Structure 1
Amino acid sequence: MLGSSPTPLCRAYDLAMLDLDGVVYLSGRAVDGAPAAIASARDAGMRLAFVTNNASRTPEAVAENLVHLGVPAWPEDVVTSAQAAARILAARLPPESRVLALGGEGLAKALLEEGLVPVRSAEDDAVAAVVTGYGPEVRWGDLMRAAVRIRDGLWWVASNTDLTLPTSFGPAPGHGVLVRMLAEFTGVTPEVAGKPARPLLDEAIRRVGGRRPLMVGDRLDTDIEGARQAGVASLLVLTGVTGLAELVAADTPHRPTYVASGLTGLLRAHPEPTLTADGADCGGWRAVVAEGRLSVGGSGTPDDWWRAAATAAWAALDRTGTPVDVGGLADGPDTLAP
């Protein structure tokens, strides 16, 4: 069951942790309405943290890109999985410990900020740990040597386990592919910093502040599951990879607290859907599941359409163990005939 908020989320929560790709921007361009919604949430007093599993870029580079897209941001607003990984390492290693850093510039900078010494060569026998992240310049020879050392007992922290990475030519293999390869060879499971593991969100709260944090993302398997791991509320926005078929099939660990068509969901109250004998009602929409098929009728806002549809579908999934057929609904209220 979705949560409800009688007041806009930007007033009910004091910190929004915003995923980037699919939430703030998509294919190198700002998501429609995102800059204005972010500005309005900030004007309402909400703190903003831009959180990313990408460990290769520095906070300065991320903030510069956001400004270019029309989203005011400063480096201190950006929290990366590289920073979360460096925090994990610094909590257990003495200051100035040498750490083998297999990744991009963001990883090395994060280690330096935590008082650790990044080392590029896997031949350095004095390293106390290895940390990995996405980095197109990482050499295969260094990976081979690091793999052997991990197998032999060197502590390993991974920035994230994302299997894909968005590029201008489509989804490409992400750092998670490397993690799987190293784990299979070494028999070792790394300590993970990025979503859905909780260190990244913990780091965002620590850096930016806030007693009532809200995670905002477009992915059920990283953003929403990560929020549950961290024990915080979540808002799923439908501007990225999650569509109707994925939403209605979500099991409990991947269900958001709130759902909205976009970041304007931060600026609005969220009514609680009402369960019915065969579905759910919300804001003028009635979602019904009959013979395993979901249908939605009525009128109202797109966000209430999504709330009714998700609530009805999850109730049926919990009852039958089978996701509903969304058939002619395609991918949301915008596809409905007038």
Structure 2
Amino acid sequence: MVVEETMSASNAVTPVSLCDAEAFIFDMDGVLYRGQETLPGVVEIFDALEARSIPFLLATNNSMATPSDYVKRMATLGVVIDEANVQTSATATREFLKGELSAGAHLLVVGMPALRTQLTDGSDFVITDDPDDNVAAVVAGLDQLFTYDTLTRASEAIRKGARFVATNADATLPVENGFIPGAGSIIAAIATAGGALPTVVGKPETLMMTTGIQQLGTSARGTIMIGDRLDTDILAAHRAGLTTALVLTGVTTRADLADSEIVPDYVFTDLPSMLREIVGSD
């Protein structure tokens, strides 16, 4: 094992110990799996939380799958969850836009089909592909079928006055053998062509964290955010006052920590080493 270490976080508040946590919020890519590869300790850590009746939430910046898709994905890992346990950057974006736009607002969406589904489920937004169709907002996430035509239509709508909203701005996405471009690469192209910076909803902004602890019914400091990225997971949780735990199974390396101004409360090699801290002397 390596516990790794308790670090002096930027919050300058003594972090809650893992064995005393009120709840956990998990990132998924790079924490529970990497591409199609299941990472070690996933079943065991959720079994431990269930045995102790500790609530949890899965919070991902990925907008390419719906909560229902994640329920199915977790089942293949051997973990049973409900859709209510899942928060995506797309569902967070929908809730954000419901408070910002009028009823029946038209959205031009850059993303995979799951993003469109999540934006319209539980809302009365109208999806359009026409930049001349009174577009209230261009909503962009990771789009694996992104084309020059898509870029042209999105940037045109923005130049005509549509708001520009990004589900997240992750530069890369971890997969089995390295990294692939993330939503941030597409967001950058649209921002350049449209001449406007986006409002970013996902991590490192705090909306997913604050709504998460409201849903869990727990305090910020008593809730531990487990993530693999300093610049999104850990930063978002710090900004929202949560305790933070970094696992080194995704994007961030130990070498990255040495040069970072973003400092997690805890650092672990992987979930099994974290699990030993959760169960304590049990």
The TM-score, its normalising length taken from structure 2, stands at 0.85
**Which of the numbers 228, 242, 267 marks the counterpart of 2:252?**
242
Deviations 1:11-35 (A, max 9, x none): x222211011221112422211222
More relative contact order, 1 or 2 (CA 8 Å, 6+ apart) = 2
Residues 162 and 175 in structure 1, CA contact (< 8 A), matched pair in contact too: yes
Which range moved further: 227-236 or 164-173? 164-173
How many Å separate the matches in 1 of 2:271 and 2:126? Answer: 37
Aligned residue for 2:270?
Answer: 262
Residue 116 (1) aligns with residue 137 (2): no
**1:2 corresponds to which residue?**
8
Deviation at 1:58, TM superposition (A): 0.6
Q: 1:233 aligns with which of 227, 238, 243?
A: 243
Aligned-pair CA distance for 1:267: 5.1
Q: Does structure 2 conserve the Cα–Cα contact (< 8 Å) formed by 1:111 and 1:118?
A: no
Task: Name the counterpart of 1:320.
Answer: none
1:216 maps to what in 2?
226
DSSP 3-state at the match of 2:109: strand
Q: Secondary structure at the match of 2:80?
A: coil
Q: Any stretches of 5+ residues in structure 2 without a counterpart?
A: 1-6
1:226-260: per-residue Cα shift (whole Å, max 9, x none)?
11122211111222233321122222xx1001222
In our comparison, the structure showing a higher alpha carbon Rg is 1
Gaps of 5+ in 1: 272-338
| Structure 2 match to 1:311 | none
The sequence identity of aligned pairs, in percent, is 33
- The alpha-carbon distance between structure 1 residues 118 and 162, as it changes in their structure 2 partners (threshold 3 A), is farther
- 1:126-165 counterparts in 2 under 5 A? 126-165=134-173
Q: Which amino acid letter does the alignment assign opposite residue 2 of structure 1?
A: S
1:168 Cα offset (Å)? 5.4
| Alpha-carbon distance change, 85 to 150 in structure 1, aligned in 2, over 3 angstroms | same
Check whether the contact 1:41–1:267 (CA below 8 A) recurs between aligned residues. no
The match for 1:29 among 25, 37, 43 is 37
The secondary structure found in structure 1 opposite 2:99 is helix
For residues 116-150 of structure 1, the C-alpha deviation after alignment (integer angstroms, 9 at most, x for no partner) is 32414134513221111112234432320220221
Contact 1:38 1:263 in 2 (8 A): no
Deviations 1:306-337 (A, max 9, x none): xxxxxxxxxxxxxxxxxxxxxxxxxxxxxxxx
CA change 1:29–1:142 in 2 (3 A) is closer
Pairwise CA distance, 1:266: 5.0
What is the Cα deviation at residue 209 of structure 1? 3.7
Corresponding residue number in structure 2 for 1:179: 187
Q: Give the Cα separation in 2 of the matches to 1:159 and 1:153.
A: 19
Query: For 1:54 and 1:177, how far apart are their aligned partners in 2?
Result: 14
